[in-house]
Amino acid sequence: MSRPTSRPALVGALLKKELKAYSRDKIYLFLTLLVLIAIPVAYTFLPTTVSETITLAVSPPVTSMIDDAKDSLRAMGATDEQLAELDNADLSQQQEGLQLIEFDNEADMQRVIEGTLEAWRTDDGELTLRDKEAGEDEPEGAEKLGLDIGIAFPKDFITDVAAGKSGVTVTVYSDANVPEEIQGAMTSFVREAAYQLAGRQLPVNMADEQSIILGTDRVGDQVTLKDKLRPMLLFMVLLMETFSMASLVSTEVLQRTVTAVLVTPVKIGDFLLAKTIFGTFMSLGQGLLVLFLVGGLTVQNWSLVLTVLFMGSVMFTGLALYVGASGKDFMGQLFYTMLFTIPLLIPAFSVMFPGSAAVWVRAIPTYPIIDTLVGAFNYGATWSSSAGSLAYAAAWLVLLFGAGLFALKRKVETL
């Protein structure tokens, strides 16, 4: 008389079957390999530094405006000492993170900002312009300047401001990609520069100011794009595995392979356990591989990062079980997968932008996962500081994973 097969042996047999089915799915196998190769390769080309300097273009040069205004200012009663102070005026003085580039011609400055002309600076500080469309060669030993915003002053700007003339207009040229707050800051800078050059005080009494920075001051210690994208890439790998796992589940349900499995000593609990183990460790294994290639683990964050990766793998496995059980055909399964995964991607993209995420973004199940990864990789988050996010993630994990098991169990029982 043969001995009954143990439950671990049955689950092991099911895992072997899952692995064979996965290797036969050429489309998702190819996509998985492509992602695992493309992500680390692309990651190596991301910038590793952050520029905190705003390059501001002005036209005409400040010295030219000052020279043109001296005679008029002297006629208004300006002393030689005052004119000497004006010679020493520096628009960028005490303006942290501001670099001035001066243009003789307003039209050239406009073309550089809009991208039809290039500005280069040589080692001796000379500004050189290059018309790329005309086929001009890049100047040797020069650095290309990136200009996003520029200010064009009228020829008699200093004289008109000093005389109190109304209707003095300056033109601010800005690239469409410059944030609105930067454009506003430059407008304020123009007002301040006008009074500084004209030797007049601002027409307001400024209150005493005390700056209090809430949170961590990141001035001089900005997170690079490479560091920002590391948690996002790991998150994407976990989420992409949802497609392949959902496809495997959907195929077994549609082809009724599961009914053939259940006529053996395998019980539905064994079937669900095998699906859970396979989906979780496939996601976790790929996440660990990408993590090894892109780096980021430290003595301080390794336990927190691995725990979050495991929780994310279980969460997305539950989602894959639910989606695989819901689709009635391939297109239906694909539709359900896209329907669920696209909203779950939103928190991942929110890490690209500074500031707090909106309330509705924080309500998305994947937000605590990506939030904890970002904190662990970039901001020194610890177990205690991440307790709230971990508890929130655990609640969503139980809900999504439970829903996936229930949906698949009910689908199998009705076949």
CA distance 238 to 215: 30
Neighbouring-strand partners of residue 388: none
Helices within 295-379 (DSSP H only): 302-326, 330-350, 359-362, 367-378
Residue 126 has pLDDT above 60, yes or no: yes
197 falls in which pLDDT band (50, 70, 90)? Answer: low
* Beta carbons within 8 Å of 273's beta carbon, 6+ residues apart: 11
For residue 350, the tally of other CB atoms under 10 A from its CB is 20
Kindly give, in sequence order, each residue whose CB lies less than 8 Å from that of residue 373, ignoring residues fewer than 6 positions away: 231, 234, 235, 305, 308
Three-state secondary structure call for residue 220: coil
At 132, list the tokens. 């790329």
Give the residue-averaged pLDDT of 328-332: 70
Q: What is the pLDDT of residues 7-59, one digit of tens each?
A: 788 888 888 888 888 888 787 788 888 888 888 888 888 777 666 667 778 88
**In terms of C-beta distances under 8 Å and separation of at least 24 residues, what long-range contacts does 82-86 make, across chains too?**
82/199, 85/199, 86/197, 86/199
Tokens describing residue 207: 């209150």
Is the model more confident about 150 or about 405? 405
Q: Is the pLDDT of residue 214 over 50?
A: no
User: What is the maximal distance between C-alpha atoms in the chain?
Assistant: 119
Partnered with residue 98 across adjacent β-strands are 54
**Closest-CA residue to 244 (of 316, 139, 144):** 316
The answer, yes or no, to whether residue 118 has pLDDT greater than 60, is yes
Which letter, b or e, does each residue of 17-34 get, where b requires 16 or more Cβ atoms within 10 Å of its Cβ? ebeeebeeeeebeeebee
Q: How many angstroms separate the CA atoms of 239 and 248, rounded?
A: 15
Q: For residue range 241-269, what is the model confidence (pLDDT) as tens digits?
A: 888 888 888 888 888 887 877 778 888 88
Q: In the beta sheet, which residues pair with residue 149? A: 56, 174
Q: What is the mean pLDDT of residues 333-344?
A: 80
Does the pLDDT value for residue 299 go beyond 50?
yes
84: its two tokens: 């000497």
CA torsion, ordered 338, 342, 345, 350, to nearest 10 deg: 170
- pLDDT tens readout for residues 51-64: 666 777 888 887 78
Q: Which residues pair with 122 in a beta bridge?
A: 142
| β strands within 165-319, DSSP E | 171-174
Q: How does residue 352 score in pLDDT terms, banded at 50, 70 and 90?
A: low
